[in-house]
Structure 1
């Protein structure tokens, strides 16, 4: 990958899109992870106003610390960057209190995790509407088009996706070039939606390097019978997630009414 040229291409794309849309800049949710750090850095390099928003909901201290370290570094480097912190923990707890009480389960945990993501999406669009900003997505290619590892209308609810054509490994390469804090580069990827220490790999059952390999194998027309052992297991994980999450990746289905019924 021609890292510097890729960065310039994305930055120019972001700037051109915003100008053509007659918008003033970008708003990015900052999690303390690699994807949001790279996305906000790319937005900042456009020279347009870039608002970094922290939205903790029972967030691990390490994630908060990394997010603040990144924002501090970004503001020192770019005068067009500003930040704000919106503690959504009490909002989340109040919302939970008005939901019907049901027994704890894996489905409840997942539903509440997705609720966190959707509260954050609403918050980002509040600021976007207030300042005429675009909400910049932070999803990469493996998450967005490989396994669908994001929340529909949560972190998947964005105006534009600057790094969605980049594999996770390529995001790390750009992060290193942009001098994203080492603490973020070294941290295990996590969505931080469950209030515990589980990583993306814990949830998915495979690392991003493994998923990138499986994605490439699928593109080459391979199937699970072509592999054994761990490779077979990883390939099956990828194919399963890619299949069940197509509803996230495809356009919303529309019921077309026959003309003779109208």
Structure 2
């Protein structure tokens, strides 16, 4: 992936090593709660802290001290990669929104280490990357990239870029009102129905990641041999069926929240091949 030398985003906030102390309002969140959230939301989630907020009794974060936001150091190559990918999502979605007569409002991306306060509660690295609609920020502990490569079997820079683009896809859902409509249904439908709805949310974010890949490749021609395959492989490695079989040997479709490997691959490729938001209507699709 030929990313070096491209524009970097100014919307990256570096909290690594900030030394801030913080807590969560209501009852404390322990390791067991984090495990429940991970089971509920899988590797990537639109907002795993929604689950944690319910468990803790409050989704409000009480910040005792937080250092002022700062950008990553100029010599940090990994941060430069993240900033470059985020900039490419900004360019891609600005073009898509402009074509529809709308204005794209980009999210901020927060780099942190270990744990950090968010508008959705306390974010922890064990959750993996996530998007918080409450503050419209993507949260990323870059140690996850090592997990993605070594433990999940999805190496490659374009696989990492897909992760970022997927989370930005959740931001696009917030801008388009999809997130709000889905959240309004939670608690009014059964757990099985909530899981099925979550699958459609996540597959649409995969499709939106595909749109980013389509737009950025057309503009930059930065993909190299094997890049697209690395993203498709990442989609396969984080499918619910694959993860559950790896963990317990059995896949339970009624508990899926993100979609199967085949579904995640299909919807990413749908976005990549079409470049069309209309093609990403997972909610209207009879077959996923």
TM-score (norm. length: structure 2): 0.24
Larger radius of gyration: 1
